[in-house]
């Protein structure tokens, strides 16, 4: 398959890149469960003849916000930056919730045909299945990602419908992805700006994963 | 200058008869239903200021979190009202009886809605996505001045086609306009058939068209549209948000059929294919296909802007005349799934 030069993937390219990414993840990130490929054959009685269509899924990831920083410290550092004054009034209550409850996250990597890039969808929920609001989720995010979300006008979280599950999920908006992937591929290979399809999702996730606190190992980029 | 079909689309409206959900009636007698005219290109939350006065004295105490249902089926507010009607009322019901809820928002099913701001955000977000599909980037939407963006949104909210026609060229979604309107204006249907253009290298030209396709699948046969079963969950509807590659080939007219086929290859006539892996035999009208290959489902109805479409209609006409103001063409399809 031709290398990527314009920052975009085709549907077929996504399928190839997704499998390569899942393989590398399994080999180099053994502390995490593997990503699984969810094929979209026969969804809701429709029969897809595109066998390559599907998405990557990593579910029930337990995230402890205290791994990054202690909750007190995080709330001091982070709150004034992204919360309005009115909202920070309930802040103490929310922090208590964060401390007391286990939070689980599901992550899906879905191809966007409109933007020609992968999109990270995610949702958080408590052990009883109750969904987490964005305000609560932001407290679970590493503080570095909060600043990333603030600095870059292209990286932001929105709540939208999961394209295949018919339910509200959060996603990192893909409208800037093509541009920063181009920059990334220029930096990685001296001179040219080409990236093998197999490395696309690894490079992409090295940026996107950080936002949600999932880091990839350096070996994966080789 | 907007043409006549576009005017019809903008003036299109659905008479709604809105009932307050019985669990929220805190007055005696219960309030009578409210009658409102809902613009096809509009969104349900934008009607709240019209509807609320009818019910505000009947509501129990508490904070509003407004949503609508049709026969108990929660309606997605981010789908244009006309599309919801086309999709959920195979046999049009007039007035359309909807139920309004001021409490108990089903946040596991519907995206939260903070009133007009959410609807505007949804509109601009769709506009950006359409621009990305058409132009390859969304710079023109991002660079539009705040006041122009505000005016554009107001024109959609008020159904003010003149204002929209004045403002939308600033988005420079020129490709669609130039490519298609030029052709439709200088050609009759006959000359359009043979009039496809080739570029210098003689290659087939393509353009990407933003399309949202809603497919309602029914697995039993039915003769009349009024016999279609009621919908219980959104899982009975497949949603495809995927651009259509508009192909121009010499001597061929790219039709609505070609567009729908590119999105739903398994449902169009003799060229249909099904997954080899399925390996199941399907029957159509009770008979097996000659070569014993799997049979396909059947498209019963394709509806756009309330019009039951002929699949032979040139797709360029459909796009130019029937798209919504966010440059998306919303297509509602009713299919009968293969018999198993």
Residue A188's pLDDT is what? 58
Select the residue of A45, A115, A131 nearest B337 (Cβ to Cβ).
Answer: A45
Based on the fold, state whether residues B210 and B331 are members of the same structural domain: yes
Residue A190's pLDDT is what? 52
Give the integer Cα–Cα distance in Å for B260 and B272.
Answer: 12
Based on the fold, state whether residues B223 and B310 are members of the same structural domain: yes
Chains A & B: contacts with CB separation below 8 Å? 77
User: Does the structure show a pLDDT above 70 at B167?
Assistant: yes
Regarding predicted confidence, which is higher, A71 or B35?
B35
Stretch 196-235 of chain B: residues touching chain A, C-beta under 8 Å? 210, 215, 217, 219, 234-235
Q: Is residue B121 within 8 Å of B50, Cβ to Cβ?
A: no
Distance in Å, alpha carbon of B240 to nearest chain A alpha carbon: 8
Based on the fold, state whether residues B71 and B122 are members of the same structural domain: no
Q: What is the phi/psi pair of residue B34, to 5°? A: -100, 140
Residue A111's pLDDT is what? 95
Report the domain count for chain B.
3
The packing angle between helices A71-82 and A143-151, to 10°, is 10
B271 in contact with A at a CB cutoff of 8 Å? no
Regarding predicted confidence, which is higher, B107 or B193?
B107
Strongest mean pLDDT among A20-24, A136-140, A146-150, B179-183: A20-24
Residue B194 in domain: no
The DSSP output letter for A38 is E
Residue B245 in domain: yes
Residue B194's pLDDT is what? 33
Residue B326 in domain: yes
User: Does the structure show a pLDDT above 70 at B270?
Assistant: no
Residue B64's pLDDT is what? 94
Based on the fold, state whether residues B96 and B124 are members of the same structural domain: no
Among A38-47, A86-95, B17-26, B291-300, name the one with the lowest average pLDDT: A86-95
pTM of the model: 0.84
Based on the fold, state whether residues B322 and B240 are members of the same structural domain: yes
Residue B87 in domain: yes
Residue B230's pLDDT is what? 84
Based on the fold, state whether residues B215 and B156 are members of the same structural domain: no
pLDDT tens across A88-108, in order?
344 444 444 445 578 999 999
Among A26-40, A139-153, B269-283, B314-328, name the one with the lowest average pLDDT: B269-283
Residue ending a domain, among B59, B91, B111, is: B111
Contacts of B108 in chain A (CB under 8 A): 131, 167-168
Based on the fold, state whether residues B245 and B308 are members of the same structural domain: yes
User: Does the structure show a pLDDT above 80 at B241?
Assistant: yes
User: Does the structure show a pLDDT above 80 at A20?
Assistant: yes
Print the domain residue range for B329: 206-269+296-336
Residue ending a domain, among B86, B111, B136, is: B111
Residue B298's pLDDT is what? 83
Based on the fold, state whether residues B89 and B159 are members of the same structural domain: no
Distance in Å, alpha carbon of B30 to nearest chain A alpha carbon: 33
What CATH number does the domain containing B38 carry?
A: 3.10.20.620
Residue A83's pLDDT is what? 37
Contacts of A167 in chain B (CB under 8 A): 108-109
Contact A46 B337 (CB under 8 A): yes
Instruction: Please identify every residue of A annotated as catalytic.
Output: 175
Based on the fold, state whether residues B102 and B127 are members of the same structural domain: no
User: Does the structure show a pLDDT above 50 at A121?
Assistant: yes
Residue ending a domain, among B66, B83, B111, is: B111
Predicted complex ipTM exceeds 0.95: no
B143 in contact with A at a CB cutoff of 8 Å? no
Residue A185's pLDDT is what? 77
Residue B60 in domain: yes
Coil, strand or helix at A126: strand
Based on the fold, state whether residues B170 and B217 are members of the same structural domain: no
Contact B275 A161 (CB under 8 A): no
Q: How confident is the model at residue B47 (pLDDT cuts 50, 70, 90)?
A: very high
What CATH number does the domain containing B224 carry?
A: 3.10.20.90
Select the residue of A41, A114, A158 nearest B277 (Cβ to Cβ).
Answer: A41
Average pLDDT score, chain B? 83
Residue B243 in domain: yes
Based on the fold, state whether residues B103 and B47 are members of the same structural domain: yes
Based on the fold, state whether residues B95 and B50 are members of the same structural domain: yes
């Amino acid at each position: 398959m031709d290398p990527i030069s314009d920052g975009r993937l085709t549907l077929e390219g996504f399928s190839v890149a997704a499998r390569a990414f899942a393989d590398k993840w399994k080999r180099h990130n053994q502390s995490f469960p593997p990503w699984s490929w969810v094929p979209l054959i026969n969804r809701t009685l429709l029969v897809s003849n595109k066998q390559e269509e599907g998405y990557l899924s990593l579910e029930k990831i337990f995230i402890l916000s205290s791994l990054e920083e202690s909750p007190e410290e995080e709330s001091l550092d982070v709150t004034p930056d992204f919360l309005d004054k009115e909202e920070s009034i309930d802040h103490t209550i929310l922090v208590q919730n964060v401390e007391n409850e286990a939070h689980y996250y599901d992550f899906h990597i879905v191809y966007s045909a409109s933007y020609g890039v992968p999109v990270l969808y995610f949702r958080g929920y408590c052990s009883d299945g109750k969904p987490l609001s964005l305000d609560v989720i932001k407290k679970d995010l590493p503080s570095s990602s909060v600043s990333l979300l603030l600095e870059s006008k292209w990286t932001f979280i929105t709540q939208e419908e999961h394209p295949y599950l018919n339910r509200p999920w959060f996603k990192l908006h893909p409208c800037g992805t093509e541009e920063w992937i181009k920059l990334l591929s220029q930096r990685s290979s001296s001179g040219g700006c080409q990236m093998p399809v197999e490395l696309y999702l690894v490079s992409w996730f090295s940026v996107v994963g950080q936002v949600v606190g999932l880091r990839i190992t350096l070996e994966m980029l080789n | 200058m907007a043409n006549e079909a576009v005017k019809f689309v903008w003036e299109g409206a659905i008479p709604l008869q809105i009932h307050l959900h019985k669990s929220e009636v805190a007055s005696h007698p219960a309030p009578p239903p409210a009658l409102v005219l809902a613009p096809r290109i509009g969104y349900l939350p934008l009607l709240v200021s019209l509807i609320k006065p009818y019910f505000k004295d009947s509501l129990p105490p508490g904070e509003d979190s407004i949503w609508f249902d049709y026969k108990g089926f929660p309606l997605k507010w981010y789908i244009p009202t006309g599309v919801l009607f086309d999709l959920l009322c195979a046999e049009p019901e007039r007035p359309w009886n909807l139920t309004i809820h001021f409490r108990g928002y089903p946040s596991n099913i519907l995206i939260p809605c903070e009133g007009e701001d959410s609807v505007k955000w949804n509109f601009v977000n769709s506009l950006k996505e359409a621009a990305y599909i058409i132009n390859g980037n969304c710079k023109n939407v991002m660079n539009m001045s705040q006041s122009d963006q505000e005016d554009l949104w107001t024109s959609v909210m008020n159904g003010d086609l003149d204002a929209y026609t004045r403002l939308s060229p600033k988005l420079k979604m020129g490709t669609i306009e130039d490519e298609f309107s030029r052709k439709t204006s200088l050609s009759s249907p006959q000359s359009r058939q043979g009039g496809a253009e080739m570029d210098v290298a003689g290659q087939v030209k393509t353009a990407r068209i933003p399309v949202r396709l809603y497919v309602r699948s029914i697995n039993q046969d039915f003769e009349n549209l009024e016999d279609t079963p009621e919908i219980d969950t959104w899982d009975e509807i497949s949603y495809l948000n995927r651009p259509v590659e508009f192909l121009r080939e010499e001597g061929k007219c790219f039709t609505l059929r070609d567009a729908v086929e590119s999105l739903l290859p398994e449902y169009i006539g003799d060229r249909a294919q099904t997954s080899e892996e399925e390996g199941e035999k399907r029957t159509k009208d009770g008979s097996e296909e000659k070569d014993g290959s799997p049979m396909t489902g059947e498209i019963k109805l394709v509806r756009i802007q309330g019009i039951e479409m002929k699949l032979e209609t040139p797709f360029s006409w459909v796009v130019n005349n029937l798209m919504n103001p966010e440059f998306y063409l919303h297509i509602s399809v009713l299919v009968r799934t293969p018999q198993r």
